[in-house]
Structure 1
Amino acid sequence: MLSYQHAYHAGNPADVHKHFVLAELIRLLTKKDRGISYLETHAGRGLYDLTSQESLKTGEAAEGITLLDPPKGSAINDALRMIRTHYGETAYPGSPMVAASLLREQDRMVLMEMHPQEHAALKKAMKGTGAAVHNRDAYEGAVALTPMEPRRGLVLIDPPYEVKDEYGRAADLAMKIHKRWPEAAVMVWYPLLDAGRHKDLLARMADGGPLVSEVGFDLKGGKGMKGSGLAILGAPYGADAAVARAIHLASPILRA
C-alpha cells in the first residue's frame, strides 16, 4: 500500500478520460452563481511535469494528452491554458489542479492524500488556491466530512486500485457519500482490465442508478489497462451531454 505514484502515468489516456469529463462537469455545475463544494479522496500531487524522469520512463503521456489539442473555449482547454501559463508548457494538471483552475471564489475545495511524498507535493502545488489539503485516510475522512457546504457539489473517488478489494471499497464509499450528501454528484474512476473486477464495483453501485462512461484505448501495445470507466451517482441535469462533449473532444484517442 501507498506505493503508487501517479507521475509515471500522468497525461495518459485514462487521465484524459477522467480530466476531460471532470472539467465538463465542473463547468456544468458552476453555470449558476451559487457556490459548489469539490471533494477529492485520492488527490495525488496535483501537478506534473511531462518531461520528468517518471513521465519519460513510461511514455504514457505521449499516447495521451500530447496527441490532443482541445479547442479554445472548452473547459479542459481553459484549465490546461491556465496551468501552462503559470507552470510552463510541459506542465500537466492532476484532477485537483483541473478543478482549481475552473472553480471560483465562492466555491470550496477539500483534498485528501495519504502518501507522504504525494501529500507534501500536493500541499505545495495547491498553495494559494484556497484548497484544504488533508493527509487523511479517504475511507474515513470522506464520510466524516460530508455533507459539505455549499450543498451542491462534486466528489471524485479515484483510488490506485493497488489491492483487489479496492473496487468494492470505492463503490461502498461512493454509496455512503451519496446517501449522506444527495445534493452532490459522486464520480468514481476505475480501470478496465482483463480481470474484470470493475464489474463488482458497478454491481455495488447499481442501486444508485449511476451514469456510466466507459472508453477503450491503446496503451503500451495493449498490455495492462484496456480502458477506463467513470460511474457517476447523482449526476446533475445535463451530465449526459457534458460527458458526451468530453468524449468527443478526446475521440482521437478514446473509443466510446
Structure 2
Amino acid sequence: MNYRHSFHAGNSADVVKHSLLIALVRALQQKPGALTLIDAHAGCGLYDLGGEQAQRTGEAAYGVLRAFADANPLLDDYRAAVRAVNVGTEPHLYPGSPQVMAQLLRPQDVLILNEKHPEDAHALRGAMRGTPAAVHERDAYELWLAMLPTRTARGVVVVDPPYEQTDERARITATLAAAHRKWAHGVTVVWYPLKDRLTHQQWKGQLRRLGIPKFLNVEHWLYDADQPGIYNGAGLFIINPPYAFTQALPPLLDALRAALAPDGHRGDISARWLDAQRAD
C-alpha cells in the first residue's frame, strides 16, 4: 500500500495520530526531565491543503475539516496545533508530525527529524527553519537504532512510513525488537493504515510474539463493516505509554470517533493491550 503523505495530509488518520501524539508528549512532560523526540519518517513537515496532491484525494474534508467543525473541547489541543501554522479561521496548511512536535518543545527538549527522500528532506528543512530541530537524510531504520538510547533519559520515537515497500512491516518488526533490546524503557509510536484485515492480524501476531510488555494498540475503523479494497482507517502501536496518557485516553478516543465518523456510520475506535489480545 502506497501512502505518500502529501496525498493524504489532514485526513482522518492524521487527526487521530496527531491528537494522540500531542496527548502522549504532554503526559510525558508532566515530569520536568528533558525529552528527545525522534521522527524517523518525517516527510515534508508542512502540507498545502489546496495543493494538487491534496486536492486530488480531498481527504482533508473528512479529517481536519470535520475536527474543526466539531465543538468537543477535547479536540481543542489538536485544533490549536493546526491553527498555529495558519492565518485565519480555516486551515489551508497542515502541520506534519515534525511541526506538531516542534510546537510542544520545552527549552530542555530535543527534536530529531529524518527524511530519506531528497525532495521531501529539502522541503522539511524549509518547513522547520526557525526551530531547533536537527534534520537527517538517512535510512529510517538505521537512524532509529543509531539514535538509541537517547542522550536524554526519556524519549519518543515516531515511526510513520508510507508502506510503499512490501517488507515494511517486517523491517518495523525486526527494528522494534532490536530497539527494545537497546532501549527497553523508551516510548515508541508506530503508525499504520488499515486496509487488509488478514495481513494486519498476521502482523499483530508477529508483534505479540516479540514479548514486549506495555504494548498498546489503538485502532480506528471508519466504517461499521469493512469496505474491501479501500482505506478503512488507521492505527497506532504505542510501546510504554505513560499512565497519565492511558488514563485520559477513553474520552479522547470517543471524541475522535464521533467527529470523524463518515455519514451513515458510527465507526469504532479502541485501545487494547496487545499482550492481552487473542492471538489471531
Matched with 1:47 is 46
Q: Which amino acid aligns with 2:260?
A: I
Instruction: Tell whether the 8 Å contact from 1:157 to 1:174 is kept in structure 2 after alignment.
Output: no
What is the distance in 2 between the residues matched to 1:25 and 1:204? 25
Q: Does 1:5 align with 2:11?
A: no
Q: Which residue among 206, 211, 225 is the counterpart of 1:204?
A: 206
Alignment of 1:155-194 (within 5 A): 155-194=157-196
Query: Contact conserved, 2:192 with 2:234, CA < 8 A, in 1?
Result: yes
Structure 2: stretches of 5+ with no match in the other structure: 262-267, 270-280
Cross-structure match for 1:25 = 24
Equivalent residues of 1:11, 1:65 under 8 A apart: yes
What CA deviation, in whole Å up to 9, does each residue of 1:30-60 have, x standing for no partner?
1222211101111100111111111111101
Report the counterpart of residue 238 of structure 1 in structure 2: 244
| Contact map agreement 2:41 2:140 (CA 8 A) in 1 | yes
Paired position in structure 1 for 2:36: 37
Distance 2:190 2:105 in 1: 20
Identity of aligned residues (%): 38
Matched with 2:73 is 71
Q: Secondary structure at the match of 2:84?
A: helix
Structure 1 residue runs of 4+, over 6 Å off?
none
Q: Which has the larger radius of gyration?
A: 2
- Structure 2 residue aligned with 1:253: 260
Deviations 1:130-170, CA, capped at 9 Å, x for gaps: 11110000111110111112121111111111122211211
The separation in 1 between residues aligned to 2:46 and 2:218, in whole angstroms, is: 25
Which range is displaced more, 195-204 or 156-165? 195-204
C-alpha offsets along residues 4-26 of structure 1, whole Å, 9 cap, x if unaligned?
A: 63111001111112111111101
Aligned counterparts of 2:17 and 2:206: Cα–Cα separation in 1 = 21
Amino acid at match of 1:241: Q
Partner SS state of residue 28, structure 1: helix
Structure 1 unaligned segments of length 5 or more: list them: none
Tell me the distance in 2 between the aligned counterparts of 1:104 and 1:73: 22
Partners of 1:112 and 1:241 in 2: CA distance:
31
Contact persistence 1:168–1:200 (CA under 8 A): no
* CA–CA separation in structure 1 for the residues paired with 2:61 and 2:165: 27
Q: TM (normalized to structure 1)?
A: 0.90
- RMSD of aligned alpha carbons: 2.4
- Report if aligned partners of 1:178, 1:186 keep a CA contact under 8 Å in 2: no
Query: What is the TM-score normalised by the length of structure 2?
Result: 0.82
- Indicate how the Cα distance of structure 1 residues 76 and 164 shifts in structure 2: closer, same or farther if over 3 A, else same: same
Q: How many residues align?
A: 253
* Shift in CA distance, 243/116, structure 1 to aligned 2, threshold 3 Å: farther
